Structure 1
Amino acid sequence: MLSYNVRSLRDDTAALARVIHACAPDLVLVQEAPRFFRWRKAAARLAKASGLVVLSGGATAAGPLLLCSLRVTVERTEDVLLPLTPGLHRRGFATAVVRIAGARLGVLSCHLSLQRDERLAQAGLLLERLASMGVEHAVAGGDLNDVPTGKAFRHLAGPLQDCRAVAPWGGDLTFPQDGPRKRIDAVFATPGIEVLG
Structure 2
Amino acid sequence: MSLRVLSYNVHRYGDDHEALARVVRACAPHVAMLQEAPTWLGTRRTRQVMADSLGLRYVGWSSRNAILVAEGIELKELRRRRVWRPFFRRYPRPRMIATQLPGGTIGASLTVEGVDLALVVCHLGLQKRGRQHEIEQILTLCKSFGLPYLLAGDLNEVPDEPVWRRLAAEGLTDLGSDAGPTFNSSTPDRRIDAAQLSPQLTGRLLPIPAAPADLAAATDHLPLLIELKPGTPVR
- What's the TM-score once normalised by structure 1's chain length? 0.88
CA contact (8 A) 1:4 1:31 kept: yes
Please list every run of 5 or more consecutive structure 1 residues that lacks an aligned counterpart in the other structure: none
CA contact (8 A) 1:72 1:99 kept: no
Please list every run of 5 or more consecutive structure 2 residues that lacks an aligned counterpart in the other structure: 87-97, 206-235
The alpha-carbon distance between structure 1 residues 102 and 71, as it changes in their structure 2 partners (threshold 3 A), is: farther
Aligned to 1:164: 176
Question: Cα distance, 1:165 vs. partner?
Answer: 7.6
Match of 2:149 among 129, 138, 141: 138
Percent of counterpart pairs with the same letter?
A: 30
Q: Which letter maps to 2:71?
A: L
- Whole-angstrom CA distance in 2 between matches of 1:114 and 1:148: 15
- Whole-angstrom CA distance in 2 between matches of 1:49 and 1:129: 30
Question: Cα distance, 1:161 vs. partner?
Answer: 0.7
CA contact (8 A) 1:55 1:68 kept: yes
- Whole-angstrom CA distance in 2 between matches of 1:105 and 1:14: 32
Match of 1:148 among 134, 141, 159: 159
- Whole-angstrom CA distance in 2 between matches of 1:55 and 1:157: 30
CA contact (8 A) 1:33 1:63 kept: yes
Matched residue of 2:118: which SS? Answer: strand
Question: Cα distance, 1:27 vs. partner?
Answer: 1.1
Q: Which letter maps to 1:35?
A: T
Deviant stretches of 4+, over 6 Å: none
- Whole-angstrom CA distance in 2 between matches of 1:91 and 1:111: 7
Write out per-residue CA displacement over residues 131-160 of structure 1, whole angstroms, 9 at most, x where no aligned residue. Answer: 11122x111110000111110111113321
Q: Which letter maps to 1:30?
A: L
- Whole-angstrom CA distance in 2 between matches of 1:122 and 1:37: 23
Q: Which letter maps to 1:23?
A: C
Does the alignment pair 1:195 with 2:191?
no
Matched residue of 2:79: which SS? Answer: strand
- Cα RMSD (Å): 1.8
- Whole-angstrom CA distance in 2 between matches of 1:55 and 1:99: 16
Does the alignment pair 1:186 with 2:188?
no
Matched residue of 1:142: which SS? Answer: strand
Question: Cα distance, 1:87 vs. partner?
Answer: 5.5
- Which one has a bigger Cα radius of gyration? 2
Aligned to 1:107: 119
Does the alignment pair 1:118 with 2:130?
yes
Matched residue of 1:181: which SS? Answer: coil
The alpha-carbon distance between structure 1 residues 156 and 18, as it changes in their structure 2 partners (threshold 3 A), is: same
Write out per-residue CA displacement over residues 71-95 of structure 1, whole angstroms, 9 at most, x where no aligned residue. Answer: 3221111221112543523210011
Paired residues, what number? Answer: 189
